[in-house]
Chain A
């Protein structure tokens, strides 16, 4: 019953450093996505994938890269961390990429950039 698993749970980075947030799901879900959550702004979509080998940009993609080499994994890479990327990041997945499917969220990754 792992569902959507994110690592690490907490991370502190220095400005300019790079890092990867890992996301894995064991539900054979087609659709995966990354959101960031900031106070007063809800969750905003960063990148999403409708299947292995296919990714696309969401609402706030700048400064982030993704890849989807397998159905299970969808890592999010911060290329050169900036203080504006301090946020809580959520990975999510759904069985199908079709609109209206139930989306399952991971527990979040708290990132602080100093």
Chain B
């Protein structure tokens, strides 16, 4: 069974601070996605990374896919209260023919004003 471990599980920071969330696995993924989920809602896709070593930026969020396609990180610069939520990474199995995703355990971020 492929597993995606996220760290930290919980993070409470002050507005303006920087943070990094990690997503690690011993398995190789063909692509990796990051989602944000707010209370009472479903996950919403933030980004998809496909190529080993790829870096994508979405405003203050920077996503990186590891060279070996086994891990990824999400870095938030100058966090704001609006960034509060559950961040989930999800990997598509390498060589998989369908859009099945394996989700990480999640990182719950709280940004205090």
Q: Is the CB of A100 within 8 A of B88?
A: no
Known: A92-B42, A108-B41, A108-B42. A103 touches B101 (CB 8 A): yes
Known: A42-B104, A42-B106, A43-B103. A50 touches B98 (CB 8 A): yes
Q: Is the CB of A100 within 8 A of B92?
A: yes
Besides the contacts A42-B4, A92-B42, A103-B45, what 10 more A-B pairs have beta carbons closer than 8 Å? A40-B105, A42-B88, A45-B100, A50-B98, A58-B100, A94-B99, A97-B99, A99-B97, A107-B40, A108-B41
8 A Cβ contacts from A36-85 to B = 40-45, 48, 50, 58-59
Q: Does B43 contact A (CB under 8 A)?
A: yes
Say which residue of A41, A43, A90, A103 sits within 8 Å of B99 (CB atoms).
Answer: A103
1/0 per position for A14-54, CB-CB distance to B under 8 A?
A: 00000000000000000101010000111111001010000
B92: chain A residues at CB < 8 Å are 99-100
CB closest chain-A residue, reference B42: A105
Q: How many residues of B contact A (CB 8 A)?
A: 29
Which bucket holds chain A's interface residue count? 20 to 34
Bound-state Cα–Cα, A104 to B41, Å: 12
Say which residue of B93, B96, B99 sits within 8 Å of A96 (CB atoms).
Answer: B99
Known: A43-B43, A43-B88. A33 touches B105 (CB 8 A): no
Say which residue of B93, B96, B100, B106 sits within 8 Å of A33 (CB atoms).
Answer: B100
8 A Cβ contacts from B8-39 to A = 9, 30-31, 33
Bound-state Cα–Cα, A107 to B41, Å: 4
Would you mind naming 6 contact pairs between A and B with Cβ atoms under 8 Å apart? Answer: A40-B106, A42-B104, A99-B92, A100-B48, A103-B99, A108-B42
Residue among B33, B41, B43, B105 with most chain A CB within 10 A: B43
Known: A100-B31, A100-B48. A107 touches B98 (CB 8 A): no
